[in-house]
């Protein structure tokens, strides 16, 4: 096989990355729901024929890109790639088959060039509703109550979608079929864009050269990560972090991690982590893997290293089966972002012992997710939002104020969009929380506040979050950020809420959502 020139490699590899980003832009522009269109809770990528992620949309959700290959392998096990034909696709949202929680639906569309399977175009998006006991399944005691599970399988677009039986099955089991089916269609549109870009590259440069570049992109990332790990002193570094409570009994849940560096390899072992929770505060193993890899890449490598399958090769990840970072089926997993943020922060604290100059203080580092829904004669309306908080400070400066946390990267939903789209509430305040960042030589980022005026009776409010009791800690003498909180103001009464729960609100209520601040860096 001929050696590819550095120029060709640079041009083609950047074309792959550009295609993945374009897919992400197409997905969000075509989406129906605010959680995808505005908050951009989605991701896209291109895989090779073996199902290894080659290029991923680094401008969207980190936690969704790290597990594309894991979900794909379960799909390929259900139907071997050799049996695929043009017009087929894989689909799954099964948390126990490489997925995250049920709202995250994965789609893989094969890329054929001259009848040869070259790879896959992939898109994953958080669906506004997938059925279940509520629009935000935070009270389920098993995964069945959280919504419709789509097992990893192969389907045909012409036969099973576009009004076919699979589309009808999904639509019949959800509250807002127009938005959910519309968002899945936006995933197909994104995948078609990925297919077209790879086919065009093959036409321009030849299939053999494109395959070479796909392999070299993985090898390049592997070399860069191995070099970065080799620069860390060998040893085992331990840390732990704790969730406020298990969502049922009020008892905290602790993550324990041991990070072992040996030459150019790294092992992450979560032995000692708490057993799985009875609530949805459990992380499927694929989510744990994604969060772990994101933490390592954030700390160890620069942004110029592509986030692909090669990044993962030097790293081994272990989590005890039956722990809340690797639960047994059918444990509920809807709120899986909370435990994986504690895994993320525990790795920051562990590696901070080895390379303190590279690590920032912990931020709010939680997914604060709220839902407001109402059932009227015309059917359901559902609004879901992810609220940003404060980032941790670093040796170089203050933490960022009021933005998405490291595993999320969601944007805020504009107030103007909610005013146009929803008639059962309005946003009366959106602001930063003063002095919520931890004090220090560099302060932590400030949290945010949103106040929703409820305009109709019977609006169901649901929430899951963390750091209501244990705020983000500072480092090197920096102070802790403020905790998060939530309350309803009803006349002269203030009704506080825990970090997980659900209630029915009344017309005139003011729902106040407040996120936490980030930790400070260094003594003031």
10-residue mean pLDDT profile of the chain (524 residues): values are 85 97 97 95 96 90 83 97 98 97 97 97 96 85 96 98 98 97 98 98 97 97 96 98 93 97 98 97 97 93 88 96 98 96 96 93 96 95 96 96 92 92 97 98 98 98 96 96 98 96 96 98 92
For residue 256, the model assigns a pLDDT of: 98
CB 257 within 8 A of CB 347: yes
Among residues 259, 90, 104, the alpha carbon closest in space to that of 188 is found at 90
The two structure tokens encoding residue 452: 């929703």
The two structure tokens encoding residue 468: 């209501």
Q: How far apart are CA 6 and CA 124, in angstroms?
A: 32
Q: How far apart are CA 14 and CA 21, in angstroms?
A: 11
**253-262 and 235-243: which strand pairing?**
antiparallel
E-state strands within 288-333: 315-318
Q: How far apart are CA 181 and CA 123, in angstroms?
A: 14
Residue with tokens 């160890």: 300
Among residues 393, 376, 405, the alpha carbon closest in space to that of 479 is found at 393
Among residues 434, 427, 16, the alpha carbon closest in space to that of 204 is found at 16
| Residues β-bridged to residue 318 | 269
Q: Which residues contact 315 (CB under 8 A, 6 or more apart)?
A: 225, 265, 266, 267, 268, 292, 293, 296
Every domain of the chain and the residues it spans: 6-222, 360-524
pTM of the model: 0.96
Q: How far apart are CA 512 and CA 517, in angstroms?
A: 16
**330 prior amide bond cis, ω within 30:** yes
Instruction: Tell me the H-state helices in 301-400.
Output: 309-312, 337-352
For residue 2, the model assigns a pLDDT of: 62
For residue 1, the model assigns a pLDDT of: 44
List b or e across 125-158, with b for residues whose CB sees 16 or more CB atoms inside 10 angstroms: bbbbbbbbebbbbbbbeebebbbbbbebbbbebe
Q: Give the DSSP letter string of 411-460.
A: PPPPHHHHHHH-SSEEEEEEEE-TT-SPPSSBPPPP-EEEEEEE-STTEE
**265-269 and 315-318: which strand pairing?**
parallel
Among residues 37, 25, 305, the alpha carbon closest in space to that of 296 is found at 305
Residue length of the chain: 524
Q: How far apart are CA 133 and CA 139, in angstroms?
A: 8
Residue with tokens 């936006």: 186
């Amino acid at each position: 096989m001929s050696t590819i020139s550095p120029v060709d490699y640079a041009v083609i590899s950047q074309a792959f990355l550009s295609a993945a980003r374009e897919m992400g832009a197409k997905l969000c522009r075509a989406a129906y729901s605010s959680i995808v269109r505005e908050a951009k809770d989605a991701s896209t990528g291109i895989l090779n024929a073996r199902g290894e992620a080659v290029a991923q949309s680094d401008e969207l959700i980190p936690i969704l890109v790290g597990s594309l290959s894991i979900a794909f392998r379960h799909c390929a096990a259900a139907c071997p790639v050799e049996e695929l034909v043009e017009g087929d696709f894989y689909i799954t949202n099964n948390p126990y088959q490489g997925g995250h929680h049920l709202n995250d639906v994965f789609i893989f569309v094969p890329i054929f060039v001259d009848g040869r399977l070259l790879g896959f175009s992939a898109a994953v998006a958080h669906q506004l509703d997938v059925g279940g006991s509520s629009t935000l399944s935070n009270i389920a005691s098993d995964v069945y109550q959280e919504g419709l599970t789509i097992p990893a399988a192969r389907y045909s677009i012409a036969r099973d979608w576009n009004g076919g039986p699979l589309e009808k099955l999904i639509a019949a089991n959800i509250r807002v079929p127009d938005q959910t089916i519309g968002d899945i269609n936006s995933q197909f549109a994104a995948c078609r864009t990925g297919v077209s870009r790879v086919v065009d590259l093959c036409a321009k440069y030849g299939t053999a050269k494109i395959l070479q570049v796909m392999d070299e992109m993985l090898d390049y990332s592997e070399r860069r990560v191995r070099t970065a790990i080799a620069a860390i002193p060998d040893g085992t570094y331990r840390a732990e972090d704790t969730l406020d409570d298990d969502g049922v009994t009020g008892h905290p849940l602790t993550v324990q991690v041991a990070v072992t560096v040996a030459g150019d390899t790294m092992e992450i072992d979560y032995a000692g982590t708490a057993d799985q929770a009875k609530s949805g505060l459990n992380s499927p193993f694929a989510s744990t893997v994604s969060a772990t890899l994101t933490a390592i890449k954030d700390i160890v490598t620069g942004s110029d290293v592509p986030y692909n399958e090669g990044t993962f090769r030097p790293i081994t990840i272990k989590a005890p089966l039956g722990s809340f970072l690797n639960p047994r089926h059918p444990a509920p997993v809807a709120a899986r972002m909370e435990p994986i943020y504690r895994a993320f922060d525990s790795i920051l604290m562990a590696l901070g012992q080895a390379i303190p100059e590279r690590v920032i203080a912990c931020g709010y580092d939680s997914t604060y997710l709220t839902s407001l829904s109402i059932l009227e004669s015309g059917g359901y309306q559902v609004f879901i939002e992810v609220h940003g908080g404060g980032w941790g400070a670093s040796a170089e400066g203050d933490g960022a104020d009021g933005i998405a946390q490291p595993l999320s990267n969601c944007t805020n939903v504009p107030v103007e969009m909610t005013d146009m789209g929803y008639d059962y509430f309005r946003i009366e305040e959106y602001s930063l929380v003063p002095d919520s960042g931890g004090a220090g030589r560099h302060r932590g980022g400030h949290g945010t506040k949103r106040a929703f005026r409820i305009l109709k009776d019977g609006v169901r409010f649901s929430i899951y979050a963390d750091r209501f009791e244990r705020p983000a800690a500072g480092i090197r003498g920096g102070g802790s950020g403020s905790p998060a909180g939530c309350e309803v103001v009803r006349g002269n009464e203030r009704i506080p809420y825990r970090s997980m729960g659900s209630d029915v609100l009344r017309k005139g209520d003011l729902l106040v959502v407040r996120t936490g601040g980030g930790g400070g860096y260094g003594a003031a």
